[in-house]
Amino acid sequence: MTIVNVSRPSMYGTEAVTVYAARLPFGSLFHLLSHVDAVHGAYYFLMHFVLLAGHGTFLLRLPSVLAMTAAAGLTARLARRLTGSDLAALFAGLTLVIAPLATEYGQAGRSYAIDTAMAVLTWSLFVTAIDSPADPRAAWRYYTLVVALTAYLHEMTLLVLAANLVTLVWMRSTRDVWMAWVRAVRWALVLSIPLLVTSVVQSRQVSWIKPATWNDLNSAYRDFLGPGTAAIALNVALIVMCCWVAARRDASLPGVTATRLCLPIFVVAPLLLIVESMIAMPLYGGIRYVVWVSPAMAVLIGAGLDHAVRLLVPSGARSFAAILGVGVLAASLASQWKLEERVHSSAGAPQDMLAAATYLHQHERPGDGVIFAPRSFYALRLGYRNDLQPLRDLVIGQSGRYGGRLYGTEMSAPAISDAVEDSTRIWLVGVSSPRGSTRPELAALSRNFHLVSQHHVTGMTLSLFQTSSLRPDVETEG
């Protein structure tokens, strides 16, 4: 995982939400989580203590950097344990390190990197519990606790239980192992009940997620494999070859092996989530929801590549075998470099929120109104509230801190229209034109105001409107 641009100055939308929630006093944060975003509550509490040390974007992303680094180390250790090979550990760790998804989410101010590290720890404890000759009950208790704790960071990680079920069937586990696993799962789910119940109560928060299609499944695995036909072809060939070689090696081995553990995680968990989102309430909100399965792919590649180079290279030439394997992984990285470059650049972010906040701070006047359209652009105010302090929100009547909403509570439609009509200058942040909208604030803006200037930054437009009998030329920037 490369962290070249981890300190890039601009936050993106969900990072701004992290900053807002993590800076709330505990009482206000509990109030917020009782209404929305309870699924991220554990992460916000963690970040509350992190951000006590400062407010820079590097500090915001530092826990993710450390977590993804830990995930790479845990992945290497798991591969070493499953194969007994130092080379497999090296290849598995490097595979995760060079993966563009690990780079992207390993330098983001959200929980996904921490989820990934905790997921690998869960798998390691699962193996320990099955293989432990001394006190398996203690190992299963640790497995239970970590499964539940990881769920509080990201509840989709509970899908690992389905993958572990497949593993137990595949390895033909004994009755004692089955009974111990069932007890562990039962208690993990009991511990997760508060989260699961709250998620159902707050399910309206994910109403934006559309039903998944087979294209979503295809896109998910394309995101794992890299951009472009050549990259996908190379990496599909690499994964298929590694899985085939590892499966042939593991076929004669008893117990938990790399393929029996990791192939169900990499295939079953994302597939279940996407299929569920096709036939029931959609819960698959993009690749970030399943990025935690990436280490499973890394272990499969590490195990298969290790066995392949051992077959090709004489047993005494371990250094050459290592160089050959690293060369294959370097070719994989090269095929995905366009995606790596996008992740490293500020252009890879959906919006340049810092540039927008800076421009508004330089041009706003006390008493100016502001409208965010679509509403998700309100994250700009959450992340850069000091820069936007002079701007009056013409839509929100009660802030999220008191109303238990991230973006606050909207006023009634007549009150919104009156607030717009009573203003002289209004900033429209997001869309470039209010025309054609039925939203009361945009309808009033298009009726009674005219455009004075526009400034474009990555991902959004900042438009200034004012009332006047004169219509000066429109100034367009950016």
| Residue 339 sits in the same domain as residue 362 | no
For tokens 């970030």, what's the residue? Answer: 288
Residue 371: beta bridge partners?
428
CA–CA dist 439, 185 (Å, integer): 47
Q: According to the per-residue pLDDT averaged within each range, which of 177-181, 249-253, 281-285, 443-447 is highest?
A: 177-181
| Residues 447-475, mean pLDDT to the nearest whole number | 80
pLDDT at residue 157 in the model: 94
| Residue 87 sits in the same domain as residue 216 | yes
> Considering only CA atoms, which of 127, 75, 82 is closest in space to residue 106?
75
pLDDT at residue 62 in the model: 93
CA–CA dist 11, 18 (Å, integer): 10
Give residue-wise pLDDT tens across range 258-274.
999 999 999 999 889 98
| Residue 364 sits in the same domain as residue 327 | no
pTM of the model: 0.88
105, pLDDT greater than 50: yes
- The amino acid that residue 257 corresponds to is T
- Half-sphere exposure of 461 toward its Cβ, with a 13 Å CA cutoff? 16
347, pLDDT greater than 70: no
How far is CA 145 from each of CA 53, 126, 139, rounded to the nearest angstrom? Answer: 29, 12, 10
Domain-embedded: residue 298: yes
Domain-embedded: residue 200: yes
Question: 261 and 247 in contact (C-beta within 8 Å)?
Answer: no
473, pLDDT greater than 60: no
470, pLDDT greater than 50: no
Q: 294 pLDDT band (50/70/90 cuts)?
A: very high
> Considering only CA atoms, which of 221, 148, 227, 220 is closest in space to residue 191?
148
Residue 60 CB coordination number (10 Å): 25
| Residue 41 sits in the same domain as residue 74 | yes
For residues 405-420, one letter each, b for 16 or more C-beta atoms within 10 angstroms of the residue's C-beta and e for the rest, the string is: bbbbebbeeeebbebb
Q: According to the per-residue pLDDT averaged within each range, which of 112-126, 262-276, 320-334 is highest?
A: 112-126
| Residue 107 sits in the same domain as residue 139 | yes
Q: How far is CA 225 from the centre of its chain?
A: 17
| Residues 76-97, mean pLDDT to the nearest whole number | 92
Domain-embedded: residue 19: yes
Helix pair angle (57-83, 112-131), 10° resolution:
20
Q: What is the token pair recorded at 422?
A: 């009573």
Helix pair angle (175-201, 112-131), 10° resolution:
160
Question: 143 and 122 in contact (C-beta within 8 Å)?
Answer: yes
pLDDT at residue 228 in the model: 62
- The amino acid that residue 109 corresponds to is G
State the average pLDDT for the chain: 85
User: What's the domain range around 234?
Assistant: 13-348
pLDDT at residue 459 in the model: 85
How far is CA 383 from each of CA 396, 406, 429, rounded to the nearest angstrom? Answer: 17, 12, 14
Q: 145 pLDDT band (50/70/90 cuts)?
A: very high
| Residue 123 sits in the same domain as residue 137 | yes
315, pLDDT greater than 80: no
| Residue 290 sits in the same domain as residue 358 | no
Peptide bond into 374 cis (omega under 30): yes
Mention every residue, 6+ apart, whose C-beta is less than 8 A from residue 36.
202, 205, 404, 405, 406
| Residues 434-456, mean pLDDT to the nearest whole number | 89
Q: How far is CA 56 from the centre of its chain?
A: 20
| Residues 218-233, mean pLDDT to the nearest whole number | 71
Q: How far is CA 258 from the centre of its chain?
A: 25
335, pLDDT greater than 90: no
Domain-embedded: residue 443: yes
Question: 154 and 41 in contact (C-beta within 8 Å)?
Answer: no
Q: 238 pLDDT band (50/70/90 cuts)?
A: confident
CA–CA dist 49, 475 (Å, integer): 44
Which of 293, 320, 348 delimits the end of a domain?
348
| Residue 63 sits in the same domain as residue 143 | yes
More confident residue, 4 or 53: 53
226, pLDDT greater than 50: yes
Counting the structural domains of the chain, the total is 2
| Residue 50 sits in the same domain as residue 77 | yes
* Range list of H helices, 293-378: 294-312, 318-335, 337-344, 353-363
Strands (E) located in 210-329: none
Domain-embedded: residue 6: no
- The amino acid that residue 5 corresponds to is N
Domain-embedded: residue 429: yes
| Residue 134 sits in the same domain as residue 212 | yes
| Residue 285 sits in the same domain as residue 363 | no
pLDDT at residue 98 in the model: 84
Sign of the Cα pseudo-torsion (394, 397, 400, 405, in order): negative
| Residue 273 sits in the same domain as residue 389 | no
Which of 348, 377, 392 delimits the end of a domain?
348
Give residue-wise pLDDT tens across range 188-211.
999 999 999 988 888 777 777 888
DSSP state of 253: -
Which of 326, 348, 370 delimits the end of a domain?
348
| Residues 71-98, mean pLDDT to the nearest whole number | 93
pLDDT at residue 123 in the model: 96
The CATH number assigned to the domain holding 397 equals 3.40.50
CA–CA dist 126, 143 (Å, integer): 6
Cα end-to-end distance, the chain, whole Å: 33
**Weakest-pLDDT range from 7-16, 258-267, 286-295:** 7-16
* Range list of H helices, 84-174: 86-98, 100-105, 112-131, 136-153, 160-170
Domain-embedded: residue 1: no
Mention every residue, 6+ apart, whose C-beta is less than 8 A from residue 337.
none
Q: 224: helix, coil or strand?
A: helix
Domain-embedded: residue 36: yes
